Amino acid sequence: MPRHRPANPQPYRYSYYSNRSISAPRPHRKLHLFRLGMAFAVILVGYNILSSKSSHAGNQQPKAPLYSKSQTVCLDPGHGGVDPGATSADGTIVERDINLEVAFTVRQILNGQGYQVFMTRTDNNTSMPNGDRYNFCNDKKATILVSIHHNFFSDTSVDYDTVLFYKSIDEGLATSIVNATSSQLNIPDNGIAQFEDGVLSESKMPAAVSEGFFITSTHEYNILTQPNSTRLDDEAKGLANGIMNYLRDPKAADAAVTPGAPVLTQSGE
């Protein structure tokens, strides 16, 4: 939009400066403003240098770190983009979408408790091969990796919580997550199972794939489709509790592992 201009632009003739000859050169207002601006910028820069020196000298309290905990969590919402994962029987609930929604809430809870969280994807349009997922978390040097999925089965009456692991260092984390999440969701705890999955086998830190509940379950469908359903928030709370229980005391979590977990050759979704 063009700037408003008076129809007859002769402001000086009727102004307080009316004694100034119209033909006399007007003060270079733009240059003057530029000089003023430059002077202000120099003062600002000088102030910043001085204040940073004084804080280095210890005159000020050091800034509190953004995250109070030194451990970090890499969350990996399963599937994405062209890969929807599993769906409810009627196709309206898509694993790709609820994995991300749960991950966002887990991140929010963990951030609130002072943990920094990395996420392999933050939208539903991104298609990601497993290599991109574990490489991302390895590059971030995250303390742990948690992949968020939901299970799938043809029998709609089946519903339980299970967590997959691959490496021996994964077992404590997987156990901690399945205990906390099944309890929060109030569904059977099917324990942990070993499964060779790239995200689990190629990650350099303790890692776990959470299969929170069965997306194909009629029971879950009825809860998820209630108005103002808190099902996914409840799951996120369980996941966050399991993660934090592990991070607070990894040795205790490892010691709580029941040996002899079954080995899966095929997982749900």
Residues near Zn ion (CB under 5 A) are 78, 85, 149, 269
Q: Is 226 helix (H, G, I), strand (E, B) or coil?
A: coil
* Chain centroid offset of residue 132 CA: 16
Residue nearest to Zn ion (CB): 149
Minimum distance, C-beta of residue 172 to Zn ion, in the bound complex (Å): 23
Q: Which two tokens stand for residue 38?
A: 């430059």
Alpha helices in 57-170 (DSSP H): 95-112, 130-139
Alpha helices in 78-230 (DSSP H): 95-112, 130-139, 171-185, 198-202, 218-224
Minimum distance, C-beta of residue 149 to Zn ion, in the bound complex (Å): 3
Which CB atom, from 197 or from 269, has the smaller least distance to Zn ion?
269
Q: How far apart are CA 67 and CA 73, in angstroms?
A: 12
Which CB atom, from 149 or from 237, has the smaller least distance to Zn ion?
149
Minimum distance, C-beta of residue 124 to Zn ion, in the bound complex (Å): 14
| CB-CB contact of 164 with 193 (8 Å) | yes
| CB-CB contact of 239 with 181 (8 Å) | yes
Which CB atom, from 110 or from 209, has the smaller least distance to Zn ion?
209
Which CB atom, from 170 or from 269, has the smaller least distance to Zn ion?
269
- Which of 147, 135, 145 lies closest to 85 in space, CA to CA? 147
Q: Which two tokens stand for residue 63?
A: 């800034």
Which CB atom, from 172 or from 268, has the smaller least distance to Zn ion?
268
Minimum distance, C-beta of residue 151 to Zn ion, in the bound complex (Å): 8
Minimum distance, C-beta of residue 130 to Zn ion, in the bound complex (Å): 12
Residue identified by tokens 């996120």 is 236
- Which of 121, 99, 84 lies closest to 236 in space, CA to CA? 99
Which CB atom, from 76 or from 234, has the smaller least distance to Zn ion?
76
Minimum distance, C-beta of residue 227 to Zn ion, in the bound complex (Å): 27
